[in-house]
Amino acid sequence: MNDLGILHHFLGIEIYQEDDGVFICQKKYAEKILKKFGMFGCNPTDTPLVVNEKLKKEDGGKKVDASNYRSLVGNLFYLTNTRPDIMFAASLLSRFMNDPSHIHLGAAKRVLRYIQGTLDYGIKYDSKVESKLIGFCDNDWAGCMDDMKSTSGYVFSLGSGAVSWCSKKQQTVAQSSAEAEYISAGLATQQTIWLKRILEDFGEKQEAVTIHCDNKSAIAMAENPIFDGRTKHIAIKHHFIREAIEDDVPSNIILQDK
């Protein structure tokens, strides 16, 4: 075995190790994507997607090369290894890979324009910040125009930087914003349990983990074991989070308002 010194690059990820912490990014890979799709040097935008824009499969737009579109979305997904800020956009665009239109391609190119203006973005892990696991979860109630399903999203930070993030369409149609948020919190709870076990294996045992949720009704459902008429429509499988909150081992979860 050869000692190659401090790690600087790994599978397209750049690692900068300093005395005060570690910074990871994919600047060179992002530049490669922009050049590959002819967008290097384009005018940047402040957001990956147009605010409140709704994309759907049958939008009447002109069809484009599906192979090129799939390649673009695949490259964006790999970039999410250090860029959680484009996770939702990449997940949304992946729903149209079978039959993309020029509207979908335009939305994907807007993400590239956002990347052009944020090439230096990455994740900084500060060595001086306490390694405390904290989670955040949210959803876009009935955000999908094709089947009215919601998208769950979560992100977990360990100290100063994000360590786990996800954007995933829910399997069932939520009949209320509280239900959509409750399902999202359940997904975050599953990830919390897995992260706590991994950290314990590393010798970083965590106390009660706080998951921030911005829906008071969902928090009340998780904490109150009494069902009422307004919550009976929620499938039993979604109440996994309640068991996790009540069980001290191994989860020990605290659901908290943002």
The architecture that CATH gives domain 129-257 is 2-Layer Sandwich (3.30)
What per-residue confidence (pLDDT) applies to 58?
A: 87
Six-digit token string for 26: 């994919």
* Residue 258 predicted with pLDDT over 90: no
* Residue 171 predicted with pLDDT over 90: no
* Residue 98 predicted with pLDDT over 80: yes
In this predicted model, which residue has the larger pLDDT, 142 or 78? 78
| pTM, 2 dp | 0.83
Domain range list for the chain: 9-122, 129-257
Task: Report the C-alpha gap between 73 and 89 in whole angstroms.
Answer: 10
> Is residue 109 classed as helix, strand or coil in its secondary structure?
helix
Backbone angles phi, psi at 173, to 5 degrees: -80, 120
Task: Report the C-alpha gap between 112 and 8 in whole angstroms.
Answer: 25
